[in-house]
Amino acid sequence: MEYIFSLDNLPEVAHAFIEAMGDNRIFAFEGGMGAGKTTFITEVCRQLGASDDSGSPTFSIVNEYRGADGSPIYHFDFYRLESPAEALDMGAEDYFYSGCLCLMEWPDRIGNLLPDETVTVSIEELPDGKRILRCDGGN
């Protein structure tokens, strides 16, 4: 469990998250609207060396960035999907089983398509504006 006190300590928390990722490649971010999922994923991508302007792929569903080592990082936003079938149609499983880093927002929209090794990351906003980051699952 990590606390995000403000945007000032976001790089520190993202760095700790990356250090704790291990061999896990698939992360499903849960949290209410405005909890900070996109902001946190953007910082993780930045910490991994992505030079592209990463932001929410709400309209494109998936954005691809390149880490400092040239490896792909996939950022999904499934908010607009109406059914898991739409995720299948866009090739979500190909991304999940590519071995590349997959960071997903609104994973509940794709039902049981998430691989068993998916790490669930919850971001909860506290009344004082701080966030709690919790991880569950994975290898």
Q: Which domain holds residue 87?
A: 2-137
- Of 28-32, 51-55, 132-136, give the lowest mean pLDDT range: 51-55
Q: How far is CA 106 from CA 6, 16, 41, 67, in A?
A: 23, 23, 13, 23
Q: Do the Cβ atoms of 121 and 18 come closer than 8 Å?
A: no
**What pLDDT does residue 53 have?**
61
Q: How far is CA 30 from CA 53, 71, 86, 136, in A?
A: 22, 25, 20, 11
What CATH number has the domain bearing residue 110? 3.40.50.300
In which band, very low, low, confident or very high, does the pLDDT at 59 lie, cut at 50, 70 and 90?
Answer: low
Intra-chain end-to-end CA distance of the chain, in Å: 17
> In this predicted model, what pLDDT tens digit does every residue of 68-97 receive, in sequence order?
999 999 999 999 999 999 999 999 999 999
95 or 51: which carries more pLDDT confidence?
A: 95
**What pLDDT does residue 73 have?**
95
Give Cβ neighbours of residue 52 (< 8 Å, ≥ 6 apart): 45, 63, 65, 66
Number of domains in the chain: 1
The reported pTM is 0.90
